[in-house]
Structure 1
């Protein structure tokens, strides 16, 4: 617990890293506030994986059994050609971690686990940050200015916090050469705990079941470098996808129509964030905002949960001495992140396999199951 006082911490971002950090900060006696740009919880997104020590963190949060109950239980998927004929089977081990759930389900669970003890401010975002010896003066796009002892940027790849404190995005974000669109739709193919994947040169489209086969999630992926577009214009994003996939076969024409009316739609570049340090004064970055490994790593959610646990734990151990805590947090996380970012770059290089044979897929699975990253040491902060 903190000594003699409760320190106020503003967390920008209410997806995974932010609420996980708020959970542990409250546990250690801090007073966290989460500000989230979206007007309400985000329900969209694809499935996310948990691997290794991230499962230990969930267990220490008392959430592991609840998360396990939401496991997608995804089996192997079929690779199909333009006529829908299956030519290979994609083993689940290649796209699912030790545990896999929909990101929206995870976000909801973390919110329910924290909402009674954490202040949530939806529909707002940080406008400016001004640090001094005693804290940080924060102005907001809509709300009144407030002071906090610390500020944490857990606001993702395009972090506003990072831009305000460390510099423009182009100084830190490294494009992996892939763009992805994800959206929800009905399970019109009647799939049962499985999916279908179609590939073409530099392109891929897939559909997987969700929520006990009552729904589905589809995605389009294509190779490109440095496209210019408005990140907040979904209509423009859909036009980009429609143009790229206009002449493709299989279920692509139907998926493009479904995309137009999807209630939840996400589009972005696959990228990594590389920084020499994750903190400056009283501001620190967490998760994708500071060290995104890219979707092709399969480690983003695990990094967010582990980073949140370590950051809160070090702040408690150091009794709120943020400079010491931030340095220890980075020391513990940096080797883990470095390995995961290497995995992300390797995954991006092999993302668009040219109609791989079953033998190639089986060999890739065998290699993946024997390649384990160095574990991060999880100190026991639960009684700090």
Structure 2
């Protein structure tokens, strides 16, 4: 008897049946539970599915994920890590949990007896057998009982007694399946938001997107909240994140606008002075004057040859200052004085 028809249960059932055991798997749900996120089949797991003869089915059900991209609040890529073997975020055997469950069920259903909508409520064990009572009050006897229905299963509690106390580390995770959007790609995208929050979006091969949201909090009360309250909390956190993104974008736009206004103001104030100084330099070509006003470095380098013999210090000054937003009044006046001394 195996309790749990997810991944561990059917895998164990496969090998027990291969070695001649009569196997029954009971599952609390009425059908296979096909929800869940990505699973990486790598390392020892890859070797096991190869021995089971289902490696090619798993590869055929790959999600198609190309790798991991870290993005900013505008979904712009800051860094990316393509799939590169078993050591990368994305391996070459990325499969959805539900797809793997289907594959395992398909390769065991003819050799294993599956019983759905049933779970264990009592266990009596002697030296030879284990007597099991189910939720429908029926009973049966088996040589062995395996609990493969999760760390919080009632079967595990019946076998081991009270569950060990879980240590709260202040991390909450939520997983979703959401509609695919135009901005979604074949890359997994990771965004770290202010306030110790992380959102990860991953592609799947079913036309949807798998999403996870993680955040840190010392508040343990969320653990006991009903689903409706947890959903309400996540909606609030989503609204806060959207507000922060909007504020960040607004601040960035205001910063760019301020820098642009400052540059225009500086150039506007310095333009008359530039013209006055250049008018006092009779040997300065007209095209040199124009490019000087436009801060055009390439044009300055082309036209500087007419002054290079007589004005080495002015040339150096112009080359350095042409790459800046504005010109320093004091430095221009000093350059003009030096030029006058050179001419005299």
| TM-score above 0.5, yes or no | yes
**Residue 42 of structure 1: aligned partner:** 33
Give the 3 Å change call, closer, same or farther, for CA 56–194 of structure 1 in structure 2. same
Give the 3 Å change call, closer, same or farther, for CA 105–143 of structure 1 in structure 2. farther
Give the number of the structure whose residues are more often helix, by fraction: 2
- Is 1:29–2:16 an aligned residue pair? no
Partner of residue 164 from structure 1, selected from 131, 155, 158: 158
Cα offset for 1:210? 0.5
Q: How many residues align?
A: 242
Cα offset for 1:166? 1.2
**Residue 106 of structure 1: aligned partner:** 100
**Residue 124 of structure 2: aligned partner:** 130
TM-score by length of 2: 0.64
**Residue 191 of structure 1: aligned partner:** 184
Give the number of the structure whose residues are more often strand, by fraction: 1
Task: Report if the CA contact (8 A) 1:138-1:147 is conserved.
Answer: yes
- Is 1:216–2:206 an aligned residue pair? no
SS of residue in 2 equivalent to 1:35: strand
SS of residue in 1 equivalent to 2:79: strand
Task: Write the deviation string for residues 183-221 of structure 1: whole angstroms up to 9, x where unpaired.
Answer: 212211353321322212321112211016x22111111
Cα offset for 1:109? 0.5
Cα offset for 1:161? 2.0
SS of residue in 2 equivalent to 1:74: coil
**Residue 63 of structure 1: aligned partner:** 54
Task: Write the deviation string for residues 254-292 of structure 1: whole angstroms up to 9, x where unpaired.
Answer: xxxxxxxxxxxxxxxxxxxxxxxxxxxxxxxxxxxxxxx
Give the 3 Å change call, closer, same or farther, for CA 125–250 of structure 1 in structure 2. farther
d(CA) in 2 for partners of 1:39 and 1:231?
26
Task: Write the deviation string for residues 102-124 of structure 1: whole angstroms up to 9, x where unpaired.
Answer: 11000011011111221111122
Partner of residue 15 from structure 1, selected from 6, 28, 49: 6
SS of residue in 2 equivalent to 1:189: coil
TM-score by length of 1: 0.57
- Written as runs of structure 1 = structure 2, the 5 A alignment for 1:294-373 is none
d(CA) in 2 for partners of 1:48 and 1:133?
39
Higher relative contact order (Cα pairs below 8 Å, separated by 6+ residues): 1
Structure 2: 5+ residue stretches without partners? 247-344
**Residue 315 of structure 2: aligned partner:** none
d(CA) in 1 for partners of 2:41 and 2:215?
25
- Written as runs of structure 1 = structure 2, the 5 A alignment for 1:228-239 is 228=221, 233-239=226-232
Give the 3 Å change call, closer, same or farther, for CA 241–210 of structure 1 in structure 2. same
Cα offset for 1:225? 5.3
Cα offset for 1:73? 2.8
Structure 1: 5+ residue stretches without partners? 1-9, 254-384
Task: Report if the CA contact (8 A) 1:198-1:204 is conserved.
Answer: yes
d(CA) in 2 for partners of 1:55 and 1:99?
8
SS of residue in 2 equivalent to 1:44: coil
**Residue 144 of structure 1: aligned partner:** 138
- Is 1:153–2:147 an aligned residue pair? yes
